Amino acid sequence: MMPREGAVPDAAESFYRLEPNDIVEAIEALGYQSNGVLSPLNSYENRVYEVGLWDEAPVIAKFYRPGRWSDAAIIEEHAFTLELESLEIPVVAPLRDADGHTLQHVGDYRFALYPKRAGRAPDLDDDGVLKQLGRFIGRIHALGAEEVFIHRPELSIAHFGDDSYEYLMDHGFVPSELEPAYEAAAESLLDAVDDAFDRAGPYRRIRLHGDTHPGNILWRDGTFNIVDFDDARMGPAVQDLWMFLNGDHAGRGRQLSVLLEGYDQFFDFDGRQLLLIEALRALRIMHHAAWIARRWQDPAFREAFPWFNSGHYWQEHILTLKEQLSAMHEPPLQWQ
């Protein structure tokens, strides 16, 4: 069964058809003088470009996808990163205009400008790097725990798990012959996720980065630049930690201890949240598949993920769900 098509709102059409001239005009409307050099950066959810300027360092322009976040939610994220920056935590915060605004509106577009920061993914096998990263995440969480997001959502089983499963089933993305297998694997995994959260018990919800994979951590000259708070939301602290762990069970346990040695200098970690690591990984797997499906009308997604709408992909995805279910039955990591 092919996924159903629907009407594309005018704002989304403008976003899909964003052209270099649109970008230059938007930047110059703020008083910048572009030299016409534009370089697209790796981003699917938003459109992100490095924009060259005359007599100034280039800036990074992030054009926001219509309908994903409200203006208030974007401004709330910007305020969080600006507050972190004021504490000399190495995040890349948006630039303010002459009136102090960070979110800009030009025509159909909403965008923000950022200073360019270079770097590469950190070497997470280096204990010194990992401990230093733990300290910075701990400082982010110490501030994140002081207030709550009002306009941004919580990382929840309902949104990342249940809604993702139902969207894929309801919109015809799973081939009909694989629907029974997908249904069985997804429901078993969601039951295991529910059980993991029950076993972990109540946890403190704090403001998070939300998507701290290594690609969002730029390492250069002995320090970090932490970028892209676009997925910032309320949730358990361990969400900002588990994606730094890799390798076998023993290796991940050792990395965890090093990471938390730095983290715990600035914010107390609740060890019960270790029961959530594989549950959060499961939710990320399910949410990622639904994320592509929800964006399937965007030509950039069809070009980037041409394999998504194939039977082979869904066979592999079902296998991944089953493997993740097995991982959830393994003993949780231990914090030494």
Which active-site residues does the annotation give?
211, 228
How does DSSP assign 190-233, residue by residue?
HHHHHHHHHHH-----EEE-----GGGEEEETTEEEE---TT-E
Whether the CB-CB separation of 206 and 145 falls below 8 Å is answered with: yes
Give the DSSP letter of residue 120: B
Whether the CB-CB separation of 18 and 107 falls below 8 Å is answered with: no
Give the DSSP letter of residue 49: E
Whether the CB-CB separation of 194 and 157 falls below 8 Å is answered with: yes
Distance CA 9, CA 66 (A): 9
Closest CA to 90 of 135, 153, 47: 135
Whether the CB-CB separation of 294 and 167 falls below 8 Å is answered with: yes
223, with CB counted inside 10 A (0-12, 13-18, 19+), is exposed
Whether the CB-CB separation of 208 and 242 falls below 8 Å is answered with: no
